[in-house]
């Protein structure tokens, strides 16, 4: 699917939604996960971003065709000392945004481990999108696009490069991930009613089920974007989070 198919303006705040999907954002520390998410939810670059302590939660509702999808976004810390805490948030994730830094070969070399963990703990139908972040720093590039693209194909994940700084391609990984999950639902390979699928029906879909005993999706107007961010206290770390 061409990323150009996505229309950023089609992303809206909506009171109701058809599906709720759980996403995790994972990858080495400093790759720009928090900045990527901040750009996606706030449409601006987060200056002076500090290491994430444990996990931070935010959400955004997007529109894909006639369907409204609320994304629950779990931004995890990349630092090793938080690994056991952050892994506990992988459970039942429907989508994973796996981030490396194109100027850091070290962050690329560790991708397999992140992917293994996500596949072991996430939904059996986990959809993963690999993001090579910091594409604005071309002169310092250590990982070529072709190499990352090959890695993605070998590991059966989607791939693109983005810049949280410029905003380039920041929406695409989230929309691509949601769209792949939606296609799996429509194809019948993913059942939102199954525990651990990482997806559930939203109130809009449920209302339609109740009124017609059959799902259908009509159009509804709405134009504001809403995002929420909640910071969490991490038990056992002695740290009051964020």
Footprint on this chain of ligand GTP (rule: CB under 6 A): 29-35, 49, 51-52, 77-79, 133-134, 136-137, 163-165
* Contact of residue 163 among ligand GTP, Mg ion, none (CB under 5-8 Å per partner type): ligand GTP
* Contact of residue 107 among Mg ion, ligand GTP, none (CB under 5-8 Å per partner type): none
Name the segment binding Mg ion (CB under 5 A); options: 38-46, 51-59, 153-161, 197-205.
Answer: 51-59
Query: Is residue 103 at the binding interface for Mg ion, with CB under 5 A as the rule?
Result: no
Query: Is residue 135 at the binding interface for Mg ion, with CB under 5 A as the rule?
Result: no
Tokens of 155: 């590991």
Least CB distance to ligand GTP at residue 153 (A): 24
Query: Is residue 34 at the binding interface for Mg ion, with CB under 5 A as the rule?
Result: yes
Least CB distance to ligand GTP at residue 31 (A): 4
Least CB distance to Mg ion at residue 192 (A): 29
Query: Is residue 76 at the binding interface for Mg ion, with CB under 5 A as the rule?
Result: no
Least CB distance to ligand GTP at residue 34 (A): 3
What SS3 string covers the chain?
CCHHHCCHHHCCCCCCCCEEEEEEEECCCCCCHHHHHHHHHHCCCCCCCCCCCCEEEEEEEEEECCEEEEEEEEEECCCHHHHHHHHCCCCCCCEEEEEEECCCHHHHHCHHHHHHHHHHHCCCCCEEEEEEECCCCHHHCCCCHHHHHHHHHHCCCEEEECCCCCCCCCHHHHHHHHHHHHHHHHHCCCCCCCCCCCEEECHHHHHHHHHHCCCCCCCCCCCCCCEEEEECCCCCCCCCCC
| Closest to ligand GTP by CB, 72 or 200 | 72
Least CB distance to Mg ion at residue 54 (A): 10
| Closest to Mg ion by CB, 34 or 41 | 34
Contact 164, 35 (CB under 8 A): yes
Phi-psi region of 79 (alpha: psi -120 to 50; beta: other; left: phi over 0): beta
What SS3 class is residue 22?
strand
Least CB distance to ligand GTP at residue 27 (A): 6
* Contact of residue 165 among ligand GTP, Mg ion, none (CB under 5-8 Å per partner type): ligand GTP
Query: Is residue 52 at the binding interface for Mg ion, with CB under 5 A as the rule?
Result: yes
Site residues for Mg ion per CB under 5 A: 33-34, 52
């Amino acid at each position: 699917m061409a990323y150009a198919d996505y229309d950023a303006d089609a992303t809206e705040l909506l009171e109701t939604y058809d599906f709720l999907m759980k996403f995790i954002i994972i990858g080495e520390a400093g790759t720009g996960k928090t900045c990527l998410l901040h750009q996606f939810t706030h449409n601006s670059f987060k200056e002076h971003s500090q290491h994430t302590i444990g996990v931070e939660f935010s959400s955004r509702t997007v529109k894909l065709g006639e369907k409204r999808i609320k994304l629950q976004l779990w931004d995890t810390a990349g630092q090793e000392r938080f690994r056991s805490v952050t892994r506990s948030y992988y459970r039942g994730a429907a989508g994973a945004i796996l981030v490396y830094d194109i100027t850091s070969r070290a962050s690329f070399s560790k991708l397999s481990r992140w992917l293994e963990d996500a596949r072991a703990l996430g939904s059996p139908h986990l959809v993963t999108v690999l993001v090579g972040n910091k594409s604005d720093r071309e002169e310092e590039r250590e990982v070529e696009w072709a190499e990352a693209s090959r890695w993605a194909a070998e590991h059966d994940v989607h791939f693109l490069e983005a810049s949280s700084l410029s905003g380039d391609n920041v929406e695409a990984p989230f929309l691509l991930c949601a769209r792949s999950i939606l296609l799996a639902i429509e194809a019948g390979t993913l059942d939102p009613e199954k525990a651990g699928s990482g997806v559930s029906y939203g109130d809009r879909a449920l209302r339609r089920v109740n009124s017609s005993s059959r799902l259908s999706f009509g159009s509804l107007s709405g134009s504001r974007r809403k995002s929420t961010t909640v910071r969490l206290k991490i038990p056992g770390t002695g740290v009051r989070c964020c």
